[in-house]
């Protein structure tokens, strides 16, 4: 008979399986398990998933004694309790006692139905099914996840957080007892509204526990004496941007464990909010901050905006993932690439002078030029002209490929349309991408993914983006504090952190960036308006960097002063201070410079050149016209044409070559004039009723005294090399030529059209 019952039960279990599917709220937790953020379940309940580990022995003992003392002994139904309840109900003529076990209550919570004898029978069958397929601890866990606490609050974890502001494992006996009795009378004992009745009922049950010797007398007395102050608390709302992001990334996961440190998150959220409040009068309304632990690549703080709840300034926009113009923040990866390609070293001389790159004429942020500078000075001072020149030499496709490797998604999409302007902000990046890139500089050039969830493993080995040798050179440059992007008087007012950092300001002053790193952290800061409105006072130096320094000081104030060790393949060598190249016999001012062995350029210095002149230095000779006597060998600056043009325009004195021997008949071939205006291959539109003129200009070698301008092979003007010449061009295809007094010639062509 019993065997037939078992067989029938197993058959019914097979035909009518019971597979509970509970819709939980999504919890976003910090790295210590503290809830950062929570979302309503799909059915609009606060039903927070409780792990078995969160069910303490005290909670388990109290609940089982009150609800189902034989929970660990029955198969889902308690026959003796059912017989006792049936007898009482029959003799009294009404329902006076129930016989529901915890397992049966779970079934009722999963499949609520009217209380009829047939439904009771179904409930009993389902309870035994639960017992067959789930352990006792799992059933108890289901009960504690589903038990109602009034309104839309369900489960012990939600009740514990909303009524007591703590996790279930921190509840006292007094609080546990109060929460275990609320589900029996959720309306009359609702916490926060019926606290007096709840205290009375709690004390009655504590007295019963004492009578049953469940706890010792002193424990019960302490629990009764404990005040019970209960009120409905608000939902945890830390890191809202990250919470929404991870909820989309892990849609079916009830608990998402992040790498966020809750104290750091709260602190930085407060810092950002207070900082932006001080900038409101300047029409600057938002900021975003991302903090990465360099060793684990864990995001320890994620602040997407100054105030998530501010609808007027786009508070719900995630500034960490928003696509913005990077300003000058991509220059470090360009210089590191140039170091790796052996194009430059830190003290290589570069010309910061007005330059024309096929019609593109960039300017520096301060609209001033510095003449000849070193590469490290150019990067530390974020000069634009040297950066564009280096990019032209490195080539735009090489830098784009490097940024694709670093997973810059927008640059990947824009790659076909990007040119030299990308290094000055003519592309789209996110704060997340930039911060990850700078974290690679901290990790000796290894690019690793950012970890937002603890489920993501720590990457032991990343992808080598640039060499550790070039990152060492880069770190030395970016730690300099004698630079213009140090905030005004910051070093005299605050503790200056030991970090490497780079600032950036986008065109139109719409975005201010400051990304910094040390051995422990990489921190990315963006400040601006999500509307894209520019602000004259906005700059990476004075707007974003003070916040960067403040966050570094709050997170790592007493950080170790140790810095990055010099790799074995990096060494020091003597170079000429004027050029940054290996000294020649005329280099009398030598300094030391870092270089990468076997990679860095090994060029002999040519900042001077030997020239034969007459005794009075009035005429120069080439080897073709050198007389037998009456000459001397002297050194003269070997200046680039662009630098000569800059000196001429600024009236900066420099040593000029004497005119070449007028009697010389040699034909010179190298060093032809460089036509800088107009641009070769350009189209010009001219109104026929109001003819306009176009400017002719060129750059020449140091030995040129006069140039000759031709239009369609007809001489139109002879002038000094740096004199601006204006012409009225004919309509159609126009050939423009420039010849110098050595016979060297350059040609370009333009197309002139009528409008």
The residues annotated with a catalytic role in the active site are: 67, 328
Q: Using CA of residue 319, residue 320, residue 324, residue 328, what is the dihedral sign?
A: positive
Per-position b or e across 253-289, b if 16+ CB within 10 A of its CB? bbbbbbbbbbebbeebbebbeebbeebeeeebbbbbb
End-to-end Cα separation, the chain, in angstroms: 105
Q: How many Å apart are CA 677 and CA 743, to the nearest integer?
A: 20
Question: C-alpha angle with apex 233: 232 to 238, nearest 5 degrees?
Answer: 160
Distance CA 657, CA 611 (A): 8
What sign results for the dihedral spanned by CA atoms 109, 110, 111, 116? negative
With 0-12 CB in 10 A as exposed, 13-18 as middle and 19+ as buried, what is 41?
A: buried
DSSP states along 254-315? SEEEB---HHHHHHHHHHHHHHHHHHGGGT--EEEEEEEETTTTEEEEEE-SS-TT-TTTTT
Whether residue 678 has a cis bond before it, omega within 30° of 0: yes
Nearest to 298 by CA among 399, 193, 435: 435
Q: How many CB atoms lie within 10 A of CB 570?
A: 21
Contact 505, 512 (CB under 8 A): yes
DSSP sequence for 459-496? PSS-EESS-HHHHHHHHHHHT--SSTTSPTTHHHHSPP
Q: Tell me the CA distances in angstroms from 108 to 28, 549, 550, one per residue in order.
A: 29, 57, 55
Structure tokens at 478: 């970016």
The angle at the Cα of 598, spanning 593 to 599, to the nearest 5 degrees, equals 70
Q: How far is CA 718 from CA 4, 672, 721, 742, 745, in A?
A: 117, 16, 9, 14, 14
**DSSP three-state, residue 107:** helix
């Amino acid at each position: 008979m019993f065997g037939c019952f078992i067989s029938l039960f197993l058959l019914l279990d097979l035909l009518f399986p019971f597979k509970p599917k509970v819709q939980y709220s999504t919890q976003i937790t910090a790295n210590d398990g503290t809830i950062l953020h929570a979302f309503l379940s799909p059915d609009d309940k606060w039903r927070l998933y409780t792990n078995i580990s969160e069910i303490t022995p005290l909670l388990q003992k109290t609940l089982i004694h009150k609800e189902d003392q034989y929970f660990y002994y029955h198969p889902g139904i308690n026959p003796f309790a059912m017989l006792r309840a049936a007898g009482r109900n029959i003799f009294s003529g009404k329902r006076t006692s129930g016989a529901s076990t915890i397992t049966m209550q779970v079934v009722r919570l999963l499949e609520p139905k009217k209380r009829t004898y047939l439904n009771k029978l179904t409930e009993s069958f389902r309870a035994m099914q639960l017992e067959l397929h789930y352990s006792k601890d799992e059933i108890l866990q289901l009960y504690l996840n589903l038990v109602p606490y009034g309104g839309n609050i369900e489960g012990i974890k939600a009740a514990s957080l909303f009524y007591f502001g703590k996790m279930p494992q921190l509840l006292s006996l007094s609080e546990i007892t109060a929460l275990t009795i609320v589900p029996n009378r959720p309306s009359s004992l609702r916490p926060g509204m019926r606290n007096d009745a709840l205290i009375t009922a709690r004390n009655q049950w504590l007295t019963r526990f004492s009578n049953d010797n469940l706890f010792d007398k002193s424990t019960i007395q302490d629990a009764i004496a404990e005040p019970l102050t209960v009120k409905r608390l608000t939902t945890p709302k830390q890191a809202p941007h990250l919470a929404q992001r991870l909820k989309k990334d892990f849609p079916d996961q009830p608990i998402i464990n992040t790498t966020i440190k809750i104290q750091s998150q709260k602190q930085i959220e407060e810092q950002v909010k207070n900082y932006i409040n001080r900038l409101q009068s300047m029409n600057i309304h938002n900021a975003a901050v991302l903090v990465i632990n360099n060793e684990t690549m864990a995001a320890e703080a994620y602040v997407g905006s100054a105030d998530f709840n501010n609808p007027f300034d786009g508070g719900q926009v995630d500034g960490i993932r928003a696509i913005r113009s990077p300003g000058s923040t991509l220059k470090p990866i360009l210089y590191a690439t140039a170091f790796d390609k052996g194009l430059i070293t830190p003290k290589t001389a570069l010309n910061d002078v007005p330059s024309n790159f096929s019609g593109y004429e960039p300017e520096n942020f301060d609209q001033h030029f510095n003449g000849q500078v070193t590469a490290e000075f150019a990067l530390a001072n974020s000069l634009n002209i040297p950066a564009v020149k280096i990019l032209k030499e490195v080539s735009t496709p090489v830098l784009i490929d490097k940024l694709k490797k670093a997973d810059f998604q927008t640059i990947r999409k824009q790659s076909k349309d990007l040119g030299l302007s990308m290094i000055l902000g003519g592309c789209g990046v996110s704060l997340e991408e930039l911060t990850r890139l700078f974290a690679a500089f901290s990790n000796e050039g290894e690019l690793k993914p950012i970890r937002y969830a603890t489920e993501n493993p720590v990457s032991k080995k990343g992808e080598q983006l640039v060499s550790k040798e070039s990152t060492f050179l880069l770190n030395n440059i970016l730690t300099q504090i004698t630079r213009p992007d140090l905030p005004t008087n910051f070093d005299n007012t605050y503790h200056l952190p030991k970090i490497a950092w780079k600032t950036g300001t986008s065109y139109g002053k719409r975005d201010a960036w400051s990304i910094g790193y040390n051995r422990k952290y990489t921190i990315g800061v963006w400040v601006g308006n999500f509307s894209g409105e520019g602000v004259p006072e906005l700059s990476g130096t004075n707007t974003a960097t003070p916040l960067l320094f403040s966050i570094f000081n709050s997170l790592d104030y007493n950080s170790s002063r140790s810095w990055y060790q010099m790799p074995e393949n990096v060494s020091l060598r003597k170079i000429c201070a004027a050029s940054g190249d290996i000294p020649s016999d005329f280099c009398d001012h030598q300094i030391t410079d870092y270089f990468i062995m076997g990679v860095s350029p090994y060029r002999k210095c040519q900042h001077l050149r030997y020239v034969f002149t007459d005794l009075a230095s009035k005429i120069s000779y080439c080897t073709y016209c050198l007389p037998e006597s009456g000459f001397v060998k002297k050194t003269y600056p070997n200046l680039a044409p662009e630098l000569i043009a800059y000196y001429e325009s600024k009236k900066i004195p420099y040593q000029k070559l004497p005119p070449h021997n007028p009697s010389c008949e040699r034909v010179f071939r190298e060093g032809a004039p460089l036509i800088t205006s107009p641009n070769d291959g350009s189209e010009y539109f001219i109104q026929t009723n109001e003819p306009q003129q176009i400017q002719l200009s060129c750059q020449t070698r140091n030995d040129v005294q006069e140039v000759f301008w031709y239009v369609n092979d007809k001489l139109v003007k002879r002038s000094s090399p740096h004199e601006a010449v204006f012409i009225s061009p004919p309509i159609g295809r126009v050939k423009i030529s420039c010849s110098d007094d050595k016979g060297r010639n350059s040609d370009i062509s333009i197309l002139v059209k009528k409008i």
